[in-house]
Amino acid sequence: MHDQLQHDVLIIGSGAAGLSLAIKLADHTNVAVLSKEALIEGATLYAQGGVSAVLDEQDSIESHVEDTLTAGAGLCDPEIVRFVVERAHKSIDWLVNQGVDFTRSDETAGSNSPFHLHKEGGHSHRRIIHAADATGKEIETTLEACVRSHPNIDLFEHHIAVDLITAQKLGKSNDRCLGAYVLDVINNNINVFSARNVILATGGAGKAYLYTSNPDGCTGDGIAMAKRAGCRIANMEFIQFHPTCLYHPLAKSFLISEALRGEGAKLILENGDRFMHRYDSREELAPRDIVARAIDYEMKRLGHDCVYLDISHKSKGFIEQHFPTINKRCLELGFDMSFEPIPVVPAAHYTCGGVMINQNGQTDIPGLYAIGEVSSSGLHGANRMASNSLLECIVFAHAAFKHIRQSLAATNMPEKLPEWDESRVTDSDEEVVVSHNWDEIRRFMWDYVGIVRTTKRLQRAQNRIKLLKTEVTDYYGNFRISKDLVELRNLLLVAELIVESALRRKESRGLHYTVDFPVADTTDTAANTIIESIPSNDGHAAA
């Protein structure tokens, strides 16, 4: 038995959303931050493009709102879009005050902003503030330095949350999130963390797919835990596939930023022909769903493994200045962007749906918040516009901070919670089951639930999920858990949510395109796909 760890606030996740909230809260209360890997290892670290914000006099709040609503294909919440866009400038100011070193202006395109601004797909103006082509790394490492130096923040690296502890799961009538069971990966034991407030900042679920720009930890943990706790989950069919990941066997998950296309890079076929003009008048700067489908169609039409992105018309100096990270990696793999096109393919990139929240970041369960990619806030709708994701992280971190700070005094610390029960489990001697099932999920999700879908393919995926669910549930109930098993269990539930949501949507909209219903439904107001949840208490929870 281990001592229970008590904090006023437990933040599960250590990306831009989680660390921003921790910094804001730490001057007022004590905070615990869980990170399943090293503190900075997560999707934020690998974000290249930047943060969208109106920072130029030629731009406007109205234009940013309109662009976001257009990209979201009728499913954005207009109030939330305005709420986020109006707070973008202050969010940038806060990041700068923390020490984030954004690239300064070189008067490109006549901008009057002190910062250099990129233009990306779906945006009608230059409004992407960035730190060269490694914005996420600059933000994440800056925030990391802040949290490591704060005495009110306890950091727990290599700790993965297994499940949320709620009052309803403990048989009480008034539900509230009370904490979480957490696996210490290094010491291989389960600890109980109790808290007045719990925040899911766990990111998305790109690892549900075979090819993804996401790092290995993006296994949908927060979405799965929230679903098991009883939260509603929305719009999981809208998985964004980034149009351009580098195509090379050694270039695992390496993204080629949309900012290249913003600076004039063209998509071409093997013979040098351009093709985006056949799909959208905005050509390479169309929203990501359109570009990804166009590339997918051309690859399938021609039987090619990739298409190419050409920015060789720009000087070597320009490329080295604006895209140093991408240029370096391409050179390491034998591609010189200043001289030749580079091979690219689409890959799963962003989870637009997630745990339903309100403007404060609150979920359906009191005391439980969700911020960042794990959430469904209403900002992205059916297709996230480029560089609105890091913005969402910072804005909702502040919104959750304000609400938590106001409510802390009225919230009691939970009483002692039940310990994790391992009295009826044994050590596994069949770890191959976990790795095999993990691989199978990712392959059938790519084959059947990818950029272009059919009802038949979705049903095939659903049948595979049912079989695997029985196997994984049995395995989880009989053996001591490991990090891989926790992630597999979560990944399988998230895959089930994606498939169920996709089968429910009898139309094509935004990121969800199905051959069986190829046009958007115009007979009624566009509706969110909402999956209601019943709290489940499977596994080793001693409740």
The CATH number assigned to the domain holding 272 equals 3.90.700.10
Structure-token match 């075979």, residue found: 210
Confidence grade of residue 110 (pLDDT, cut at 50, 70, 90): low
Examine the domain organization and report whether 219 and 324 are in the same domain.
Answer: no
Of 104-118, 145-159, 305-319, where does mean pLDDT reach its minimum? 104-118
Residue 344 belongs to some domain of the structure = yes
Confidence grade of residue 257 (pLDDT, cut at 50, 70, 90): confident
Examine the domain organization and report whether 164 and 234 are in the same domain.
Answer: yes
Q: What is the pLDDT of residue 424?
A: 66
| Nearest residue to 371 (alpha-carbon basis) of 352, 386, 392, 385 | 392
Residue 442 belongs to some domain of the structure = yes
Q: Is the dihedral of CA 497, 503, 506, 509 positive or negative?
A: positive
Return all residues near 186 (Cβ < 8 A) that are at least 6 apart: 158
Confidence grade of residue 501 (pLDDT, cut at 50, 70, 90): very high
Range(s) of the domain holding residue 511: 432-519
* pLDDT tens by residue, 448-497: 999 999 999 999 999 999 999 998 888 888 888 889 999 999 999 999 99
Examine the domain organization and report whether 270 and 212 are in the same domain.
Answer: no
Do 332 and 313 touch, CB atoms closer than 8 A? no
Last residue of a domain, one of 363, 380, 410: 410
Residue 47 belongs to some domain of the structure = yes
Q: How far apart are CA 409 and CA 418, in angstroms?
A: 25
Count of CA atoms in the C-beta half-sphere (13 A) of 193:
31
Examine the domain organization and report whether 224 and 262 are in the same domain.
Answer: no
Last residue of a domain, one of 348, 369, 387: 348
Examine the domain organization and report whether 101 and 158 are in the same domain.
Answer: yes
Residue 421 belongs to some domain of the structure = no
Q: What is the pLDDT of residue 543?
A: 39
pLDDT at 429 over 70: no
Q: What percent of the chain has pLDDT over 90?
A: 75
Confidence grade of residue 542 (pLDDT, cut at 50, 70, 90): very low
Residue 536 belongs to some domain of the structure = no
Residue 5 belongs to some domain of the structure = no
Examine the domain organization and report whether 102 and 143 are in the same domain.
Answer: yes
Residue 135 belongs to some domain of the structure = yes
Q: CATH number of the domain at 514, please.
A: 1.20.58.100
The DSSP line for 308-371 is EEE-TTS-HHHHHHH-HHHHHHHHHTT--TTTS-EEEEEEEEEE--EEE--TTSB-SSTTEEE-
Examine the domain organization and report whether 387 and 499 are in the same domain.
Answer: no
Taking 3-state DSSP, the helix, strand and coil percentages for the chain, each rounded to the nearest 5, stand at 40, 20, 45
Examine the domain organization and report whether 81 and 180 are in the same domain.
Answer: yes
3-class DSSP string for 248-266? CCCCCCCECCCHHHHCCCE
Residue type, 480: R
Q: How far apart are CA 349 and CA 390, in angstroms?
A: 14
Active-site amino acid positions: 288
Examine the domain organization and report whether 121 and 71 are in the same domain.
Answer: yes
Examine the domain organization and report whether 342 and 234 are in the same domain.
Answer: no
Residue 539 belongs to some domain of the structure = no
Number of domains, the chain: 3
Examine the domain organization and report whether 148 and 257 are in the same domain.
Answer: no
Q: CATH number of the domain at 91, please.
A: 3.50.50.60
Examine the domain organization and report whether 467 and 504 are in the same domain.
Answer: yes
* pLDDT tens by residue, 308-343: 999 999 999 999 999 999 999 999 999 999 999 999
